[in-house]
Amino acid sequence: MENQVQTESQNQAESSNVKKPALGDLIRGQIHTISGQVAFLQYGPFKPYINLSEFRNEDGTYSLNLGDEIEAIVVSVKSGIELSHSKIAENVAYDELKDAFNAKKLVEGEVISTNAGGYEVKINGVRAFCPASQFAERYESNPKRQIGKKYTFSITEFSKKGSKRNVVLSRKSVLEAEKQEKTAVFVQKFKKDDVIKGTVTRVVDFGAFVRLDENTEGLLRASEVSYEKVSHKDKVKVGDVVEVKILSLDADKQQVALSMKALLPDPWNTYVQTLEVFQDIKGTVTRLVDFGAFVRLSEGVEGLLHVSSMSKERVESPAAMFKVGDELDLVVEEIVKDANPEKRRLRLMTKAVAESKKPAEFKIKSEVGNVVKAVVTEVKKNGLVVSYSEVEGFVPSSETNTEKGSKLEEKFKAGDEVQVRVMEVENKRVRFSIKAVENGSTVLSNEYQIYKKNEKENAASNKLATFGELLKTFLNK
């Protein structure tokens, strides 16, 4: 009995020494009483209370009993001493966020709701706010679809006023930093004109997307798949591993333009290498348009038969003259060679139109080797200018069948009719020979061949020489 009295006296003395808890104090005590929706702690002469809702289980029961010892924080002293157990974890979380803010560390959070200004985000039980302008690089048209999703954020503002704390986040800054990092890797990894392999991930109407690495996809446009005039969908399939050349890069947008065609020999260059204007050619009509017909001449090579080159008469519609699949005998009208495929041009014309457009010299190209009658129109020191079939040509002095050094004006005069052999038609020049008529040769004399060779070499030399070099040569003469 004496011991019990001593213990009670000791407890009362200890209780009288306990200070009244203040806002924010952390206290520990036993559950003394449970009444309604609150539980009271034994803490000296004071009876602080805590809401049972903090200990409510999913099945409706409570994980708190009489005699349990708990730790809680004082959250209010206005009407009694109100405690909270969950606020302890929240305070720890706030401290961690403050440390992350000071250290500029990134945090993970879940979007729990949206409002007019932005997004409510929960980070380890702490509510934070991310303005709409800082959530993504572009405006989010449907913010509510982000609810429940977890993202990485940076903390842009952390402040505390009394019990109120303000945590402001930014996801946009994280995305921009990731983009800069990816751009640096991208620029280092890929270069214009590189040849690499990739896997086709999607085939769309305008081309195909090719996976180059885990972070990068490139676009292979339909026009860059092949020189053949077939659908790109017949050439590439999802899952195909293809070899491509990088045509262009946009590091900021992480965009890569690719080409399979650039790795293939260009059939157009090969085809036109030996092609000449007014050369006969065969082709098949592949398309009819208002301004003409496209004609397939070889694999990967098309020419245009313009409506104005279809007939000497006016043609109202190409479809009135031809249909797709028609095989045509045509003539080359124009060849424009250029490294840029967009500037290349191969124009065609029908044979009837070609006849009316041919220069006069082309009309006698088939007569090379024949002996014909020509009229002298002018006598020069180095030869005769003669006319045949509306074509003006030249008989070099070495081909006039006169002795070397002879004065041609003493042998020939304008108006004389002479028999000549057509020797060559080259670069719109026609060469005749009187000597070849008598000796039966179809080849210009060695003397003229040497003259012609020297003439070409001198022309090339003069073309390459600088003005100073030409002046020096002139002064030394």
Query: In the chain, what are the domain boundaries?
Result: 2-84, 88-176, 190-263, 267-358, 361-461
**pLDDT computed for residue 8 by the predictor:** 40
What's the mean pLDDT in 21-32?
Answer: 86
Give the global pTM: 0.43
- 230-287 pLDDT, tens digit per residue, is 788 888 999 999 999 999 888 777 788 999 998 988 888 888 888 888 889 999 999 9
CA gap 146, 168 in Å, rounded: 18
Residue 152 C-beta-side C-alpha neighbours within 13 Å: 9
CATH topology of domain 267-358: OB fold (Dihydrolipoamide Acetyltransferase, E2P) (2.40.50)
- Neighbour tally for 60: CB within 10 Å: 6
What is the CATH superfamily name and number for domain 361-461? Nucleic acid-binding proteins (2.40.50.140)
Q: What is the mean pLDDT of residues 90-109?
A: 88
Average pLDDT over residues 67-83: 87
pLDDT at 259: 93
pLDDT exceeds cutoff 80 at 141? yes
Looking at residue 136, its amino acid is: A
Confidence band (pLDDT; 50, 70, 90) for 189?
A: confident
What was the pLDDT predicted at 13? 40
Q: Is 34 exposed, middle or buried (0-12, 13-18, 19+ CB in 10 A)?
A: middle
Amino acid at 290: D
Model pLDDT for residues 439-460, shown as the tens digit of each residue: 877 666 665 666 555 555 554 4
How confident is the prediction for the chain on average, in pLDDT? 83
The topology under which CATH files domain 2-84 is: OB fold (Dihydrolipoamide Acetyltransferase, E2P) (2.40.50)
Which residues, listed in sequence order, are joined to residue 372 by a DSSP beta bridge? 420
Fold of the CATH domain 190-263 = OB fold (Dihydrolipoamide Acetyltransferase, E2P) (2.40.50)
The pLDDT assigned to 6 comes to: 38
Per-residue confidence (pLDDT) for residue 455, from 0 to 100: 55
| pLDDT cut 90: percent of the chain above it | 37
Residue 97 has pLDDT above 70, yes or no: yes
The reply to whether domains 88-176 and 190-263 share a CATH topology is yes
- The architecture that CATH gives domain 88-176 is Beta Barrel (2.40)
